[in-house]
Amino acid sequence: MRKIAIIGAGSMAEAFISGILENGLIDRQNVWVTNNSNEKRLECLKERYGIRSTYDLNTLFEGTDIVMLAMKPKDADSAIDTIREHLSEQMLVVSVLAGVSMNTIETLARKSLSIARAMPNTSAAVGKSATAIAVNDRVSDDQLETTKKLFRTVGLARFVEEEQLDAVTGLSGSGPAYIYYLIEAMENSAVKIGLEKEMAKELIVQTLIGAAEMVRNSSKSSEQLRRDVTSPGGTTEAGIRILEENGVQQAFISCIQAATAQSKKMGNALCSQFKVGKPS
C-alpha cells in the first residue's frame, strides 16, 4: 500500500484517516483527501492529522494505488464522472457509499475496476465499527489483504456477498442508533425511579459493555445468558415480563427488517437516479 486518495471529507473519511494513522498503515504524507469545494474542511483535516489535500487530480492520483469513495451516495455520479479518467484497473477502489452497487460504480466509471464495497457504521469514529465487505472478482489476493488491513483500522471486518449488504445495513449499519434508542429509554427510566442522570449514564454504559463482553466471551447463547439472570419471581423476571407484554423483541425484529427493506429501496432509487440497471 503506497498511497490512498480519499474522495470526500466527511466524518466517515475522517474515521478512516484516524484509523490508518493510528495503526501505521500508511505514512501520513501518503494519505490524500479531497472534496467538492469545502476547502476549510480540508484545511482542518490537514492541520489535525498532518495529511495532504489537493483539488489537482493529477497530483491526487499520481502513484495512488487505493481510491476510497466516501462522498454522499447521491453525489456518486458527479464525483465518479470527475475522476473517471484517473481510475485504472490496477487501483483498488474502496467504496463506503450506502446503496451504490459495484456494478453501478463500474457503469458510472465506464470501465472495469477492482472494487471493495463496505458497510461500516458510525462507531468507526472510535475504532469500533462492525463492517461487512464485499469484493468483486477483479480484486487480487494482495488487494484483498489490503482491504482487510484497511477496515480493521476502524474495528471488526467480515466479508460477505454483495447481496447481503442490505441486511448488514439494517442490522449493524443502523445498529448504533437502535442501541442509542435503548440507552435513551434506560436514561429516562432512571430519572423516573429517582437516580441522578450522570450516575445512571455511567451505570447504563458499563452494563452494556459488560453484557456485550459476556456475549462475546461466553459459549452460551444470548438467550441462555438472559435465562441465567432471570430467577423465578425475581426482579429481572418482572422486567422481562413487561418487555414481552409490549412486544419489544418483535419490535426490534420488525425494526431491522424495515431498515433492510429501506436500504434496498434506496439502492434501487440511486440506480434510477444514475440511470443504471437495478442490481440482480
Topology of 173-259 in CATH? Answer: ProC C-terminal domain-like fold (1.10.3730)
Residue 1 pLDDT > 90: no
pLDDT tens track for 114-154: 999 999 999 999 999 999 999 999 999 999 999 999 999 99
- pLDDT for res 276: 81
pTM attached to this predicted model: 0.91
Domain with CATH 3.40.50.720 in the chain: 4-164
192/215 Cα distance (integer angstroms): 29
pLDDT tens track for 217-258: 999 999 999 999 999 999 999 999 999 999 999 999 999 999
- pLDDT for res 278: 64
> Could you tell me if 32 and 5 are in contact, meaning their C-beta atoms sit under 8 angstroms apart?
yes
- Kindly report the CATH class assigned to 4-164: alpha beta
pLDDT tens track for 80-117: 999 999 999 999 999 999 999 999 999 999 999 999 99
Domain with CATH 1.10.3730.10 in the chain: 173-259
